Amino acid sequence: MKVLRSVSEVRAWRASARRVGFVPTMGALHAGHLSLVERAVRETDAAIASIFVNPTQFGPSEDYTAYPRREAEDIRLLEQHAGAAVFVPPVAEIYPPGDATRVTPGPIAAPLEGAARPGHFVGVATVVAKLLAIVRPDIAFFGQKDFQQLRVLQTTARDLRLGSEIVGCPTVREPDGLALSSRNAYLTPEQRRDAVALSRGLFAARELWERGERDPRVLRERVRELAGGGSVALEYVSVADPVTLAELDTPAATAVISLAARVGRARLIDNVLLGMDVADLR
Ligand code: PAF
């Protein structure tokens, strides 16, 4: 597997590759990331991942410096999963001196994570637009766990005509339901036990939906009843339209229930998609 550190190295690698699948990551890889790499290997001729902890998507009081960095182990995992290449740029390769251009996504970035983390999606859209311009993949794969990120990137790639398909892939979970996240590493054993309430609340609402309940207020309430407690402090529970992320107040044929919570020093997010498959969103 090729380890590429500069834009010119990626461009030279890209010139000899055919159909390229790309998995952008911030490293600290887990089975969720690796499932995206497996999709890229299956569906394209060459799978390339990136490992870059993007400073512009972290707020001033967030965990940029504490974010787990495990480059050697990540590279080994990518190699085992048949990655063809990995791009591991230094910060100055993505944000060279004088860099000042930012990508501001549309209204889809305003609620939920956009409201809780001002500037976050500008950082995400900017770095992903840069990475797509460098790698020029045919398909880029993102996890459903960061559902709003997926929708922000699908609209950004469409609006800027970036030429890559942005494909969402199902969330990978622990056997007890907790969504895999690099930030789960921050949890103490007790917080880890409490954190299962998040998926429990979402799954209970999904069960109501499967039994025919469509009232967003009832679904929201079900999650609130079950998803908190112990060290889990819920920040928001949202029942929204999966395409626009506009909050629902009347029954609809499709919905995404999203939540965010503080569990100790970790801030965790999760969601369930109802009435449609993540693969149907483009
Ligand atoms: O989901 C992530 O890990 C990051 O937000 C991404 C998409 C790699 C951009 O830095």
pLDDT digits (tens, 9 = 90+) for 167-199: 999 999 999 999 999 999 999 999 999 999 999
Is residue 75 situated within a structural domain?
yes
Cβ of 57 closer than 6 Å to ligand 1, yes or no, is yes
Cβ of 122 closer than 6 Å to ligand 1, yes or no, is no
Number of domains in the chain: 2
Is residue 176 situated within a structural domain?
no
Centre of ligand 1 from the C-alpha of residue 16, in Å: 26
Q: Atom 5 (ligand 1): residue with closest C-alpha?
A: 124
Give the C-alpha distances (Å, rounded to integers) separating 107 from 82, 144, 151, 171, 259: 38, 19, 11, 24, 19
Rounded CA gap, 8 and 256, in Å?
40
The atom of ligand 1 lying closest to the CA of 53 is: 10
Centre of ligand 1 from the C-alpha of residue 28, in Å: 12
**Residue 18: per-residue pLDDT:** 94
Between the two ends of the chain, the Cα-to-Cα distance in Å is 30
What are the residue ranges of helices labelled H in 58-212?
Answer: 71-80, 91-94, 113-116, 120-135, 147-159, 189-210
Is residue 177 situated within a structural domain?
no
Is residue 193 situated within a structural domain?
yes
Q: Cβ–Cβ contacts within 10 Å for residue 250, how many? A: 8
For residues 161 and 55, state if they share a domain.
Answer: yes
- CATH number of the domain that residue 228 is part of: 3.30.1300.10
For residues 156 and 234, state if they share a domain.
Answer: no
Final residue in a domain of this structure, among 169, 199, 225: 169
For residues 187 and 88, state if they share a domain.
Answer: no
Rounded CA gap, 137 and 117, in Å?
28
Contact between 256 and 245 (Cβ < 8 Å)? yes
Give the C-alpha distances (Å, rounded to integers) separating 9 from 65, 151, 160, 202, 209: 27, 30, 25, 43, 49
Question: What angle do helix axes 120-135 and 147-159 make, rounded to 10 degrees?
Answer: 60
Rounded CA gap, 254 and 273, in Å?
8
For residues 118 and 36, state if they share a domain.
Answer: yes
Final residue in a domain of this structure, among 144, 169, 194: 169
- State which residues form the domain around 246: 182-280
For residues 163 and 191, state if they share a domain.
Answer: no
Q: Atom 2 (ligand 1): residue with closest C-alpha?
A: 25
Please pick, among 30, 33, 81, 120, the residue that the annotation labels catalytic.
Answer: 33
For residues 10 and 126, state if they share a domain.
Answer: yes
SS3 state at 162: coil
**Residue 148: per-residue pLDDT:** 98
For residues 28 and 118, state if they share a domain.
Answer: yes
For residues 155 and 23, state if they share a domain.
Answer: yes
- pLDDT (tens digit, 9 = 90+) per residue, 15-31? 999 999 999 999 999 99
The atom of ligand 1 lying closest to the CA of 143 is: 1
Band (230; pLDDT cuts 50, 70, 90):
very high
Cβ of 89 closer than 6 Å to ligand 1, yes or no, is no
* Strands 165-169, 139-143: pairing kind: parallel
**Residue 107: per-residue pLDDT:** 97
Final residue in a domain of this structure, among 137, 169, 201: 169
- pLDDT (tens digit, 9 = 90+) per residue, 126-171? 999 999 999 999 999 999 999 999 999 999 999 999 999 999 999 9
Long-range contact set of residues 272-277: C-beta below 8 Å, sequence gap at least 24: 272/202, 272/203, 272/205, 272/206, 273/144, 273/147, 273/242, 274/206, 274/209, 275/209, 276/242
Give the C-alpha distances (Å, rounded to integers) separating 17 from 11, 44, 46, 114, 260: 10, 10, 7, 36, 39
Band (222; pLDDT cuts 50, 70, 90):
very high
Is residue 227 situated within a structural domain?
yes
Average pLDDT, the chain: 98
**Which two structure tokens, joined as six digits, stand for 148?**
């709003």
For residues 60 and 156, state if they share a domain.
Answer: yes
- Mean pLDDT over 45-62 rounds to 98
Rounded CA gap, 139 and 146, in Å?
18
Known catalytic residue at 81 = no
Rounded CA gap, 139 and 135, in Å?
10
Cβ of 113 closer than 6 Å to ligand 1, yes or no, is no
- Mean pLDDT over 110-114 rounds to 98
Centre of ligand 1 from the C-alpha of residue 166, in Å: 13
**Which two structure tokens, joined as six digits, stand for 222?**
């079900």
Q: Atom 6 (ligand 1): residue with closest C-alpha?
A: 25
The atom of ligand 1 lying closest to the CA of 26 is: 3
For residues 70 and 115, state if they share a domain.
Answer: yes
Cβ of 270 closer than 6 Å to ligand 1, yes or no, is no
- CATH number of the domain that residue 81 is part of: 3.40.50.620
Contact between 70 and 28 (Cβ < 8 Å)? yes
Centre of ligand 1 from the C-alpha of residue 20, in Å: 19
Centre of ligand 1 from the C-alpha of residue 191, in Å: 24
For residues 151 and 201, state if they share a domain.
Answer: no
Is residue 175 situated within a structural domain?
no
The residue to which tokens 């999904």 are assigned = 206
For residues 163 and 48, state if they share a domain.
Answer: yes
